């Protein structure tokens, strides 16, 4: 009969064969590996550092701050094509979106159609975007013209945008008037009315007035608040609040 408490089992005997080797310090084993295969060892070390850096950057971009590249001139003259902007993803965690804020929104289902590709293809793109290896083509940068409860209309006798019957001076516009197309929009709670600063070359809420949702973007679609221009270096600057900022 086999005694399970006996110390003569094969596994225990194998464990006794080289007790000194089992207690060998890890640093000595790593040093020996480097000395035996220095090129491969350095390659693995550099690869591990790069992977850790990419993952850390991706985690930072997806939770705290992010960088986006401006692809068009819809926000000129404030933002130029090729600018890289810094976006605070946590700006609205404890504060509401306000008029005058420049925000990045997920335009899928509003500015662009929903992605109907197979799930694996979408998953690959989302992973590449999360890692910062592919731009997010559904992200749009716009200025908040109206929040829930507002009535946004254009234009006044002076060609200005009006919010709740009051003219809004927009010194940031590329050129007047505030819109070449007359409109009036009542913004439901939880929605936003967004406009580009280059008003005559911007795909924004005005173009969606007849669509489901009436051109209003859900607040939950806001990715973050644009806090400044990060690149190129000669244009690096924080963003100043626009007219109406701080108001609901």
Active site residues: 74, 142
Assess contact for 103 and 241: CB atoms under 8 A.
no
* Calpha distance 222→236 (Å, rounded): 23
Report in angstroms the alpha-carbon separations of 140 from 123, 176, 245. 20, 22, 20
β-pair type (151-154, 139-146)? unpaired
227 within 8 A of 103, measured Cβ to Cβ: no
228 burial (CB, 10 Å; 0-12 / 13-18 / 19+) is middle
């Amino acid at each position: 009969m086999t005694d399970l408490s006996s110390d003569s089992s094969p596994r225990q005997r194998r464990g006794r064969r080289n007790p000194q080797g089992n207690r060998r310090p890890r640093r000595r084993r790593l040093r020996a590996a480097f000395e035996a295969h220095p090129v491969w060892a350095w390659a693995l070390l550099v690869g591990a550092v790069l992977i850790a850096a990419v993952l850390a950057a991706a985690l930072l971009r997806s939770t705290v701050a992010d960088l986006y590249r401006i692809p068009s001139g819809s926000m000129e003259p404030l933002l130029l094509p090729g600018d890289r902007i810094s976006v605070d993803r946590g700006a609205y965690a404890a504060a509401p979106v306000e008029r005058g804020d420049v925000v990045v929104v997920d335009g899928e289902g509003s500015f662009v159609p929903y992605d109907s590709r197979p799930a694996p293809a979408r998953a690959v793109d989302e992973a590449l975007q999360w890692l910062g290896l592919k731009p997010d083509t559904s992200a749009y940068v716009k200025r908040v013209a109206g929040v829930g409860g507002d009535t946004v209309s254009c234009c006044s006798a002076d060609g200005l945008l009006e919010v709740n019957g009051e003219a809004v001076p927009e010194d940031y516009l590329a050129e007047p008037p505030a819109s070449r197309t007359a409109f009036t929009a009542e913004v439901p709670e939880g929605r936003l009315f967004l406009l580009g600063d280059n008003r005559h070359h911007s795909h924004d809420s005005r173009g969606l007035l007849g669509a489901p949702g009436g051109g209003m973007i859900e607040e939950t679609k806001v990715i973050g608040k644009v806090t400044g221009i990060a690149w190129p270096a000669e244009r690096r600057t924080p963003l100043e609040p626009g007219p109406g900022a701080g108001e609901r």
